[in-house]
């Protein structure tokens, strides 16, 4: 029996699954992503969840035929590593992945993708509707997309195609992104940015609100929880929808997808509040065909299952490659 591994390395959690050749899961491992001291600690956590998933599946790591890894970016594909991740502490410079996982599993068949490319590979493989032109968009601690055009998943230089969260949407650059540059989509609408953005909006428009706006621990979830009964919270959501729709319209014009699957914690936890206002704005913002905008069918497993789909299909998500 051949076995395959999928790994999801996120800013918050790291997980792995083991599956047999028909794609049915037979083992899993989970851990929180270490915040340091260096990238090696994160590599160790990845190896730990892979071992755990193999133990759970009652197999030894060397019986795995291939593995896919969906990781936070940016990547250095030649080095098989994450380089200076935007959403982890600065002390983490490089997280080696392909080499150590290859040694553990004793196979050269390791396919490394950024997490959103793993997402679009997963949608392509598992979803009912999987046309050749599709996008997987994540709105989570960061914002990014995996793009499939004419049946090819776009990779780009060093694997960094689809870093659309770092498109400039605000030319005045009022907010600074986690990457250090100003005016990026992610600086307004990611889960990490929403609290700062809400505070900024409130400083300029200090109306009464149920949002605990002065709480240092203010979260994106607090903002969504207060809408729609709270006038200020509704105003924040309207501003988020403005930037989200701008970003999505840019994706539509660049790639012409038939469908955009949306995942990530911000979208998964608030699907109607996030997706519906984007759909409503498309008509007035898009000059070409307007795609379907749907919540991912794979929930918060989209990256790990996409990584698994990559392992099963030699890195493509195309079932004809099995
Ligand atoms: Zn940025």
Average pLDDT along the chain, 322 residues, taken 10 residues at a time? 95 95 94 94 98 98 97 90 87 96 98 94 84 93 93 86 94 93 97 96 95 95 92 96 98 97 96 98 97 94 96 88 72
Ligand 1 centroid – CA 163 distance (Å): 9
Alpha helices in 110-230 (DSSP H): 115-126, 186-189, 194-204, 220-226
Ligand 1 centroid – CA 266 distance (Å): 18
Q: What is the pLDDT of residues 199-233, one digit of tens each?
A: 999 999 999 999 999 999 999 999 999 987 899 99
CB atoms within 10 A of CB 120: 28
Nearest 5 degrees, angle CA 124-CA 77-CA 102? 85
Ligand 1 centroid – CA 192 distance (Å): 12
pLDDT given at position 268: 97
Ligand 1 centroid – CA 267 distance (Å): 19
Ligand 1 centroid – CA 54 distance (Å): 36
Ligand 1 centroid – CA 196 distance (Å): 15
Ligand 1 centroid – CA 190 distance (Å): 11
Ligand 1 centroid – CA 177 distance (Å): 5
Ligand 1 centroid – CA 102 distance (Å): 31
Ligand 1 centroid – CA 212 distance (Å): 27
Ligand 1 centroid – CA 184 distance (Å): 5
Ligand 1 centroid – CA 5 distance (Å): 31
In three-state secondary structure terms, 98 is: helix
Ligand 1 centroid – CA 171 distance (Å): 13
* 137 and 145 Cβ atoms separated by less than 8 Å: yes
Ligand 1 centroid – CA 126 distance (Å): 30
Ligand 1 centroid – CA 128 distance (Å): 33
The CB-based long-range contact list for 56-62 (8 Å cut-off, 24+ gap) reads 56/18, 56/26, 56/27, 56/28, 56/29, 57/3, 57/18, 57/26, 57/27, 58/26, 58/27, 59/3, 59/18, 59/27, 61/104, 61/105, 61/106, 62/105, 62/106
Name the token pair of 286: 């898009």
Ligand 1 centroid – CA 76 distance (Å): 18
Ligand 1 centroid – CA 186 distance (Å): 6
Ligand 1 centroid – CA 178 distance (Å): 6
């Amino acid at each position: 029996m051949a076995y395959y591994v999928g790994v999801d390395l996120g800013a918050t959690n790291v997980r792995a699954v083991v599956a047999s050749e028909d794609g049915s899961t037979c083992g899993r491992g989970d851990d929180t992503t270490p915040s340091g001291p260096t990238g090696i600690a994160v590599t160790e956590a990845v190896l730990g969840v892979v071992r755990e998933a193999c133990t759970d599946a009652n197999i030894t790591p060397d019986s795995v035929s291939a593995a896919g890894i969906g990781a936070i970016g940016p990547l250095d594909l030649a080095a098989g590593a994450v380089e200076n991740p935007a959403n982890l502490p600065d002390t983490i410079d490089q997280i080696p992945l392909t080499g150590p996982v290859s040694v553990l599993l004793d196979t050269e068949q390791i396919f490394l993708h950024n997490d959103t490319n793993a997402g679009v590979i997963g949608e392509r493989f598992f979803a009912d509707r999987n046309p050749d032109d599709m996008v997987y968009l994540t709105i989570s601690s960061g914002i990014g997309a995996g793009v499939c055009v004419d049946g090819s998943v776009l990779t780009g230089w060093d694997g960094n195609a689809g870093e659309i969260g770092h498109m400039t949407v605000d030319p005045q650059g009022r907010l600074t992104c986690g990457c250090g540059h100003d005016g990026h989509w992610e600086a307004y609408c990611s889960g990490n940015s929403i609290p700062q953005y809400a505070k900024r909006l409130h400083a300029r428009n200090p109306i009464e609100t149920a949002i605990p706006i002065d709480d240092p621990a203010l979260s994106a979830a607090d903002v969504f929880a207060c809408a729609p009964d709270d006038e200020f919270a509704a105003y924040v959501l309207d501003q988020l929808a403005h930037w989200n729709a701008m970003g999505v319209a840019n994706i539509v014009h660049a790639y012409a997808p038939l469908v955009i699957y949306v995942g990530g914690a911000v979208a998964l936890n608030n699907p109607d509040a996030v997706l519906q206002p984007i759909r409503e704005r498309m008509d007035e913002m898009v000059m070409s065909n307007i795609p379907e905008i749907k919540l991912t069918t794979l929930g918060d497993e989209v990256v790990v299952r996409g990584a698994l789909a990559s392992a099963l299909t030699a890195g493509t998500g195309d079932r004809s490659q099995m």
